Amino acid sequence: MSDRYKNSKKAFEMAARLMPGGVNSPVRALKSVGGTPFFASKGRGAYIYDIDGNEYIDYVLSWGPLILGHCHEEVIDAVMNAAFQGFSFGAPTEREAVLCEMIREAFPSVEMARLVSSGTEAVMSAIRVARGFTGRDKIVKFAGCYHGHADYLLVKAGSGAMTFGTPDSKGVPEDFARLTATLPYNDIEAVRQLFSAEGDRIAAVIVEPVVGNMGTILPREGFLETLRELCTAHGAVLIFDEVMTGFRVAYGGAQELFGIKPDMTALGKVIGGGLPVGAYGGKREIMENVSPLGAVYQAGTLSGNPLSVSAGIAALTVLKREMPYQYLENKTKKLCAGLEETAKKKGIAARTNSCGSMWTVFFTDTDVYDLDTAKRSDTTMFARFYHAMRDRGVSLPPSQFEAAFLSIAHGDAEIEKTIEAFESSIYSCLI
């Protein structure tokens, strides 16, 4: 490792003695690309800085929530004002209802919502409510979609479309995994087969409508429509995990973009403005099963935390006022086109997928539309590329299978610098 990362190296050595892998979330340890992570010190606009003083154009953006960029002034003001009034109360505040109303206005499918503290908690709770509402136990998920680390969601596919899954992590009981079917994303026929055999036993189907956790992957025509059709026909609950896409690919999320109305929605990331928060909600008849109205129990001492809620209200206020989605999509398309053109000139197999301000460059010569096609990517090439880009001042997600993001703070100068860094990085990876 060069001298430019010496302070991060020391910090990582200390952290590794105190925390598993030296991190508090696995991907930060860079296992898939090797090397040592840089330790962040601050962020401003489109840039993040490490403790060695290095500056990077940031395309991680805290894994998506910073759609306004780092330290947006209105978000900072909202958090500061809230902090002076109190960090946490364990009692309701008016701001919780304000944020829920903003969610309801943007997502008409969410007639009632419950605030929680993370995306994992939102998804876990939504599934519990769906099971309570339907009186059924089995759920359906899709390979490559990540919905947090609840036991019954850490399940890999069985041996075929008709086979329920097996644990994907130690510590997950096999009995939990048997209640989860994992199908290929975008495979309409596999979904039809499963519903034909198990439809009256399925409580819910959960899906990332646009996937961000095997890289950015879009739904093929008819896929989301088929999920809606089959869930309606069989009385199952359709859950959109919009933790990543909500307020990111459109103000009303992927369900606005594709015109599909789910029964329940899980949200996070952007609705906290960069602070920890999540939410789940949906049809009133479903949400009225949640305690204290109904028998499905869910609670959280820090749910609706005033700092997070205030940051979220500020962030959504800016988004609603400025509606920057066309700007973000245009900049993302410009970046992706530049990366593909550069790769082609260099004779490198690379494809980009994008949706709104989510994007991924895959080192492959085939289209990427599910986990199997994503896995055809050259991960060794990506690892070299990741470090080459970082050395040139561009911070990307440290995995071929994670989405990158743009913010409204990213302008033409950052796009052009990134494309230049890409060209230089590709060249260095080839010699």
Catalytic residues: 146, 241, 269
CA distances from 232 to 204, 227, 238, 263, 289 (A): 11, 8, 8, 9, 19
CA distances from 207 to 67, 212, 415 (A): 22, 11, 31
Residues contacting residue 131 through CB under 8 Å, at least 6 positions apart:
137, 139, 203, 204
DSSP letter string, 362-431: E-SSS---SHHHHTTS-HHHHHHHHHHHHHTTEE--SSTTS-EE--TT--HHHHHHHHHHHHHHHHHHH-
**HSE toward the beta carbon, residue 29, CA cutoff 13 A:** 12
The Cα 368–Cα 287 span in angstroms is 36
R_g of the chain computed on alpha carbons: 21
Bridge-based pairing of strands 47-50 and 55-58 is antiparallel
Contacts 24+ apart (CB under 8 A), 361-367: 361/336, 362/215, 362/400, 363/400
The Cα 136–Cα 154 span in angstroms is 19
The Cα 311–Cα 17 span in angstroms is 34
Helix (H) or strand (E) holding 116: strand 112-116
DSSP letter string, 311-358: HHHHHHHHHHHH-THHHHHHHHHHHHHHHHHHHHHHT---EEEEETTE
Strands, sheet with 47-50, edge to edge from the N-terminal-most edge strand: 40-44, 47-50, 55-58, 394-395
The Cα 160–Cα 182 span in angstroms is 9
